Amino acid sequence: MTAVDPLRLATTEDPVPPRVRLRTEQPAPTIASRRSSGARIHEARPTVFDIRDMSVYYGPNRALMGTSFRIYRNLVTAVIGPSGCGKSTFIRTLNRMNDSIPGFRVTGQVLYHGHDVYGSAVNRVEVRRRIGMVFQKPNPFPKSIYDNVAWAPRNLGLRKDLDLRVERALQRAALWDEVKDRLRVSALSLSGGQQQRLCIARAIAVEPDVLLLDEPASALDPVSTAAIEDLMHSLKARYTIVIVTHNMQQAARVADRTAFFSLDRAERVGTLIEEDDTDTIFRNPRDTRTRDYVTGQFG
């Protein structure tokens, strides 16, 4: 537990606001060393989200039932499963992105660094700042490249060293070299892949702790997709990443941990079947439903 509630922190003029510090972070073991020791990749890593028996409803309809699992610091966790099993619902529930949908309701608990994201005293703006999100379709604002990245810091009153903040976000999103000479041109003039990296820069400009990516490459060509995947490998040193993907090869390429969701046959509602190290989910899953899905035999 941190000394201050991370969801109620006041905004700050510090260009690098305090993040929840790692005390016990260890370098990830290699796959070979994990296999020989039986250790799991997340061991010794702090928990970022502890999701406990979470069910999600839209009005009378339950979209997800009884979901419990943990998401660990500085790892990429992929969420996979067939269409309609609640992958987007799940990821959007982590930062209260569904709050404005009439009838949306969550039961159980979503603990973020030990604090209930749906607690009554929680500051939703702070939740969104700490837990950033990038969507399937690149959605830059019809503003300049610079103003897109500066938008959230300005809104939060983080005006000090804004140029530095914008540059750093664009560098971390691997876009700086391509746009540094045209920061004042419209973001809409960028290619689709560049626009998506701009959206990632926009999300990280306020120094979040977590990045939620909802099928971030599904609208992109293979070269742009590879750039986004490369980016995830570099970003996870700094951020905890949760990615929804319908592309299993992508999950295998980018994710340390993978959660497989499916539709419960009896209740026709989304449910977590299993989650584990990605290697285990793809090579040695516990549940036959996971095996059928990852081997393409899902009916």
Following CA atoms 212, 214, 216, 219 in sequence, which dihedral angle do they give, to the nearest 10 degrees? -170
Region class of 53: left (phi > 0), else alpha (psi between -120 and 50), else beta:
left
By the rule CB under 6 A, 86 interacts with ligand ADP: yes
d(CA 262, CA 271): 6
Rule CB under 6 A: which of 40-69 touch ligand ADP? 58, 63
Decide whether 12 or 55 has the Cβ nearer to ligand ADP: 55
Decide whether 271 or 278 has the Cβ nearer to ligand ADP: 271
For the bound state, the minimum distance from the C-beta of residue 103 to ligand ADP, rounded and expressed in Å, comes to 7
- Residue 46 CB neighbour total at 10 angstroms: 17
By the rule CB under 6 A, 84 interacts with ligand ADP: yes
Decide whether 47 or 55 has the Cβ nearer to ligand ADP: 55
For the bound state, the minimum distance from the C-beta of residue 96 to ligand ADP, rounded and expressed in Å, comes to 14
Using the contact rule CB under 6 A, the part of the chain among 28-36, 84-92, 169-177, 183-191 near ligand ADP is 84-92
Using the contact rule CB under 6 A, the part of the chain among 5-13, 14-22, 81-89, 284-292 near ligand ADP is 81-89
Rule CB under 6 A: which of 220-279 touch ligand ADP? 270
Supply 136's token pair: 């399937």
**Angle at the Cα of 71 (from 265 to 289), degrees rounded to 5?**
25
**Angle at the Cα of 123 (from 75 to 159), degrees rounded to 5?**
80
Q: How many residues does the chain have?
A: 299
Decide whether 35 or 137 has the Cβ nearer to ligand ADP: 137
Residue whose structure tokens are 């972070």: 25
For residues 35 and 65, the answer to whether their CB atoms sit within 8 Å is no
For the bound state, the minimum distance from the C-beta of residue 214 to ligand ADP, rounded and expressed in Å, comes to 8
By the rule CB under 6 A, 106 interacts with ligand ADP: no
How many Å is the maximal CA-CA distance in the chain? Answer: 57
Size of the site for ligand ADP (CB under 6 A): 12
Using DSSP, state whether 241 is helix, strand or coil.
strand
d(CA 138, CA 125): 22
For the bound state, the minimum distance from the C-beta of residue 58 to ligand ADP, rounded and expressed in Å, comes to 3
Decide whether 103 or 296 has the Cβ nearer to ligand ADP: 103
Decide whether 49 or 146 has the Cβ nearer to ligand ADP: 49
Q: Which of 249, 240, 189 lies closest to 217, judged by CA?
A: 249
Q: Which of 88, 224, 240, 280 binds ligand ADP (CB under 6 A)?
A: 88
- The residues binding ligand ADP (CB under 6 A) are 58, 63, 81, 83-89, 101, 270
